[in-house]
């Protein structure tokens, strides 16, 4: 079960649902997947679900940057939607070890268009929220009419297109988790990646490039790669094969999509291709986050982000350009 928190004064998308008010927020229990709602007031549960003893407060926030960003007094969330009439921020605690969602329970905060909107950007700052280990998404309502390009459905929790990390399925092609929910997450606790004092781009002239087109997973996933099973098909696997690339005379690799995608998208619903796996990745979910299932040993989004940077650094230090 999750919670829906919203300012009592706001005209609600939940019009007609009774509730109780305590302080500034109306709190309701709901399930993020089946939308069932029942009256209950458990303010302390909001804190326990988000793993903090600090009372949750909300301020209007700012419109930029888009996505989740660190603010002086909390975490700022901002998302663009030109036609939205109602936006609700959904928050869920993740497992600390791998930033994977623990369950479907969520805290939901409905944004006030009078206070939480600048132009076409909706925004809010959650004060006292954890600096890492929180998954988030949005419910967005708006006009109907597919002829005009409107597909609003507030029953669905949407992934933030500006999320820098995506929490979801851990293992590539895990059909036991084909209906995995993909949500944004963030990490403001870790130190910035160390590129090293001698790091520099190869800057090879375009006319001199010898390009090797590569699928990161396909390059080393087979046991014939000779790599340990934990790093086959991963960013670290590419690093291990840099000597092989240099031996071939390669000075640039053109990577097939390394952004987050759902390799089991065909298997979510019955269709003629529901037996297939999207190996190549040409169906991007999010252009700002690295493919989390290219992390070693199912490490999750934080590990994937770090290992992707390790791969970039190692290739560049070897004099190999990367083309995305």
Q: Kindly list the domain boundaries of the chain, sorted by start residue.
A: 2-162, 206-323
132 — pLDDT class (breaks 50, 70, 90): very high
Q: Return the H-helix or E-strand segment holding 244.
A: helix 242-248
Gyration radius (Cα) of the chain, Å: 22
Answer yes or no: is pLDDT of 99 > 80. Answer: no
Answer yes or no: is pLDDT of 172 > 60. Answer: yes
Answer yes or no: is pLDDT of 260 > 70. Answer: yes
d(CA 2, CA 49): 9
Whether 2-162 shares its CATH topology with 206-323 is answered no
End-to-end CA distance of the chain: 40
Answer yes or no: is pLDDT of 110 > 60. Answer: yes
Answer yes or no: is pLDDT of 119 > 70. Answer: yes
Bridge partners (DSSP) listed for residue 76: 69, 125
pLDDT of residue 245: 98
Contacts 24+ apart (CB under 8 A), 41-49: 42/3, 45/3, 46/3, 46/5, 46/107, 49/2, 49/3, 49/92, 49/93, 49/105, 49/107
pLDDT tens-place string over residues 197-221: 989 999 999 999 999 999 999 999 9
pLDDT of residue 108: 93
250 — pLDDT class (breaks 50, 70, 90): very high
pLDDT tens-place string over residues 1-40: 333 344 333 333 433 333 333 334 333 434 443 333 333 3
DSSP string for 253-274: EEES--EEE-TTGGGSS-STTT
Taking residue 2's Cβ as centre, other Cβ atoms within 10 Å add up to 20
Q: With pLDDT > 70 as the criterion, what percentage of the chain qualifies?
A: 80
76 — pLDDT class (breaks 50, 70, 90): very high
pLDDT of residue 179: 87
Average pLDDT, the chain: 84
**Class of the domain covering 206-323:** alpha beta
Residue with the two structure tokens 């963030």: 186
| From the candidate CATH numbers 1.10.238.10, 2.60.40.10, 2.30.110.10, 3.40.50.620, the one assigned to the domain spanning 2-162 | 2.60.40.10
Contacts of 52 by beta carbon, 8 Å cutoff, 6+ apart: 128, 129, 130
Contacts of 307 by beta carbon, 8 Å cutoff, 6+ apart: 234, 235, 236, 294, 295, 296, 299
Q: Are 234 and 294 in contact (CB under 8 A)?
A: yes
- The residue with greater pLDDT, 123 or 42, is 123
96 — pLDDT class (breaks 50, 70, 90): very low
DSSP string for 197-229: TT-------GGG--EEEE-HHHHH-SGGG---T
Answer yes or no: is pLDDT of 232 > 70. Answer: yes
């Amino acid at each position: 079960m999750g919670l829906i928190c919203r300012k009592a004064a706001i005209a609600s998308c939940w019009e007609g649902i009774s509730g109780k008010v305590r302080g500034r927020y109306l709190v309701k229990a709901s399930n993020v997947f089946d939308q069932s709602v029942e009256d209950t007031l458990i303010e302390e549960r909001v804190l326990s679900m988000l793993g903090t003893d600090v009372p949750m407060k909300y301020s209007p926030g700012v419109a930029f940057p888009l996505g989740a960003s660190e603010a002086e007094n909390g975490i700022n969330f901002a998302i663009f939607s030109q036609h939205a009439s109602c936006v609700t921020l959904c928050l869920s605690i993740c497992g600390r070890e791998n930033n994977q969602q623990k369950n479907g329970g969520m805290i939901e905060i409905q944004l006030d268009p009078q206070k939480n909107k600048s132009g076409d950007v909706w925004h809010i700052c959650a004060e006292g929220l954890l600096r890492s280990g929180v998954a988030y998404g949005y419910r967005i309502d708006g006009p109907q009419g597919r002829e005009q390009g409107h597909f609003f459905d507030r029953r669905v929790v949407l992934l933030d297109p500006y999320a820098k990390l995506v929490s979801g399925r851990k293992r590539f092609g895990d059909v036991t988790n084909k209906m995995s929910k993909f949500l944004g997450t963030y990490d403001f606790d870790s130190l910035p990646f160390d590129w090293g004092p001698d790091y520099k781009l190869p800057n090879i002239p375009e006319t001199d490039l010898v390009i090797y087109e590569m699928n990161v997973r396909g390059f080393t996933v087979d046991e014939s790669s000779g790599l340990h099973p934990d790093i086959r098909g991963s960013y670290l696997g590419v690093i291990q094969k840099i000597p092989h690339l240099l031996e071939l005379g390669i000075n640039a690799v053109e990577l097939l999509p390394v952004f987050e995608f759902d390799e089991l998208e065909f298997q979510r619903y019955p269709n003629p291709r529901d037996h297939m796996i999207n190996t190549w990745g040409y169906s991007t979910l999010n252009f700002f986050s690295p493919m989390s299932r290219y992390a070693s040993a199912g490490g999750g989004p934080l590990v994937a982000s770090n290992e992707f940077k390790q791969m970039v650094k190692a290739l560049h230090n070897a004099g190999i350009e990367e083309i995305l």
